[in-house]
Homo-oligomer: A and B are copies of this chain.
Amino acid sequence: MAAPDRIRLTAVWTDRIEEEMSQEKYQLEKGLDLLKKEFGEESVARAVAAVSTWQVEVPSWAFGSFGGGRFSGYTPPGAARTIEEKLDDAAFVHRLTGTAGSVSTHVLWDFSRDGLHADYSLAREVFEAARQRGLKLGSVNPTYFLSGFHRGSLTSPEEKTRQRAIEQTQIAGRIAAELGQGVLSLWFPDGSLYPGQVELRHAYERMRDGLVESLRDVPPTVTVLLEYKLFEPGTYSTVIPDWGTAFLLARHVGRQAGVLVDLGHHPHGTNIEQIVAVLRSEGLPGGFHFNTRYAADDDQAVEPNPELARIFYELLLEEGSGIFPENWTFMLDQASSRENRIEAILHSIDSLQTALARACLVNRKILHQFQRQDDIIAATRFFNQALLQADVRPVLYQARSSRDLPLDPVMAYKASGYQTRIEARRV
């Protein structure tokens, strides 16, 4: 971030940025030593390496005016208005983080002229626009929830609608294979508001048959991820409400299908890291939509909380190796209604890296000793020394510093003047 132009920074910030930056350098120097002393040089090195290489996809829609819900109307200033502006923002996020080189897309938002049909040639244009900005297209999402899908997509009782959903899936599969990274990510808004509105068994079976039909001609190189969601827009039922249903459907689709976990799509009280453990144990392809939830399906920016660190702990392929399973895909899925979009994305990436670093620091060998001895308090304390107690920011600073990236991406964004420029241009 050489010489960022600092225009219109508030009084608070001109001071703070200097202070924060000097502090981070200090923390980097001193803090890394502390971590090495506690967790060992090797673990820390592995954590730094993991943070340096791990990638997460950024959703194109997070930069636009999507979002809102029932009470908003408000869009934060500077929201991107076109796919090109979204790619600009994504490229700037990647420039600041080096972590977000792929953009996940929604076909009816990003590759459609009429909001009804996907257009391969538009996808090719977007692919090219991304390439020019140093970005790739990541996972491709058919858009089953816009105009005409109010009675559902693959489970709609209307043949025409179902057909439209099938065709869209097929085009999306082709885009994923030819222009993306070979990942097709499916979420269906199908469900019901009241008992009796739909026949639950028929809905499931129509979904199963529709999936099989839609995906028959999708190239076998494409990994299909099936997302589950407890509710919304359905309140009484959604057609794939839990990972068990997603898994069952994935079996019917075939070996290249797996389960997509979105952190906000569970009932309260669900142990999400355990779902990851089971899916990983079965060797299934999988994926994540990262965000934070306190209430319902909040879709807020990711918070670096201990649950997230435990999820990363389960994701790490070899014990403590910091190497992730090849058949898993990581995506942000957040739709901030109030806060600055780009800062929210940067914050999420930072949070995910924090969780990743924490997970890498757990020494499984020692942990397993405690576990074997039924030394319960020692085990949980030792586990949480990495996941809750240690300050892992120096790991992130080290990883960034070695790649010539700014130590703190949010701070660097504030200092960059980018926000001022987009607010001026996008009115």
Which chain A residues numbered 34 to 61 have a C-beta less than 8 Å away from chain B?
A: 34, 37-38
The contact size tier of chain A is: 35 or more
A339 to B146, CA, bound (A): 17
Which chain A residues numbered 270 to 323 have a C-beta less than 8 Å away from chain B?
A: 270-271, 273-275, 277-278, 280-282, 293-298, 300-301, 303-306, 310, 314
Cross-chain contact B147 with A73 (CB below 8 angstroms): yes
A282 to B249, CA, bound (A): 10
Which residues from B are CB-within-8-Å of A330? none
Which single residue of chain B is at the shortest CB-CB distance from A198?
B371
Cross-chain contact B231 with A376 (CB below 8 angstroms): no
Stoichiometry, copies per complex: 4
Interface 9-mer from A79-87, A124-132, A216-224, A240-248: A240-248
Cross-chain contact A295 with B389 (CB below 8 angstroms): no
A194 to B378, CA, bound (A): 11
Distance in angstroms from A158 CB to nearest chain B CB is 9
With A232-B71, A268-B269, A377-B410 already in contact, the answer to whether A27 and B38 are too (CB < 8 A) is: yes
With A274-B237, A376-B339, A391-B34 already in contact, the answer to whether A199 and B371 are too (CB < 8 A) is: yes
A383 to B196, CA, bound (A): 5
Cross-chain contact B23 with A37 (CB below 8 angstroms): yes
Cross-chain contact A69 with B72 (CB below 8 angstroms): no
A388 to B304, CA, bound (A): 7
A354 to B298, CA, bound (A): 29
A374 to B267, CA, bound (A): 28
Cross-chain contact A30 with B26 (CB below 8 angstroms): no
Which residues from B are CB-within-8-Å of A343? 377-378
Which residues from B are CB-within-8-Å of A377? 194, 301, 339-340, 343-344, 346-347, 410
In order of increasing CB-CB distance, the 8 nearest A-B pairs are: A196-B383, A244-B244, A268-B268, A267-B267, A231-B295, A194-B380, A339-B376, A391-B391
**Listed A/B pairs (17) with beta-carbon separation below 8 Å:** A23-B37, A69-B70, A70-B233, A72-B233, A157-B371, A157-B372, A195-B387, A201-B278, A201-B280, A201-B281, A205-B281, A230-B269, A232-B296, A241-B271, A247-B247, A296-B296, A340-B377
